[in-house]
Amino acid sequence: MRDFAVQLGHKAGELARVAHALARAGVNLKSVAGMGLGNQAVLHFIPDDVEAARTALHESNLRFDETDVVTVLLENRAGELEGVADKLGGAGINLHAVYVVGLDGDLVELAIVAEDAKKAKKVLE
């Protein structure tokens, strides 16, 4: 699984610009998260087709970073995120993003985008 992070201006129409590029290429999104801060925004997403997403972004002149995703399945209860964050922080692993990939009953699947995905995966095993 791969995470794409697209840096955008924090203004009307920026999300539509990315969504249009991906839709035109037939890219479905498994998960998406975005946030604006000041005059900047970042959009993180996990596409169903990595190659098509990469091509669509390139063809639309949208700059992006691409990173391996580590997923972890947690119980949907207080303190679960704290446990994951403590393990990663204790191992000195910097995070770029954390967002929900799926829900299944009382379980939550998190996507973790870390500076060192291999190390994060090992720490969370």
Domains in the chain: boundaries: 2-66, 69-124
Q: Do domains 2-66 and 69-124 have the same CATH topology?
A: yes
Q: How far apart are CA 58 and CA 54, in angstroms?
A: 6
**One-letter amino acid for residue 78 of the chain:** A
Instruction: Give the fold, CATH level 3, of 69-124.
Output: VC0802-like (3.30.2130)
What three-state secondary structure class fits 60?
coil
Task: Give the right CATH number for 2-66 from 3.90.180.10, 3.30.930.10, 3.40.50.1700, 3.30.2130.10.
Answer: 3.30.2130.10
Q: What is the pLDDT of residue 57?
A: 98
| Residues forming beta bridges with residue 70, ordered by sequence position | 112
Q: What is the pLDDT of residue 6?
A: 97
Q: What is the pLDDT of residue 72?
A: 95
Using alpha carbons only, what angle is made at residue 101 by residues 4 and 58, rounded to the nearest 5 degrees?
A: 15
Nearest CA-CA partner of 119 in 86, 99, 96, 93: 93
> Which ranges of the chain have pLDDT less than 50?
none
Tokens at 73, concatenated: 């399945």
What pTM, to 2 d.p., does this model score? 0.90
Handedness of CA 82, 84, 89, 93 (dihedral sign): negative
Strands (E) across 1-125 are located at 2-9, 29-37, 40-47, 64-68, 70-75, 95-104, 107-114
Q: What is the pLDDT of residue 64?
A: 97
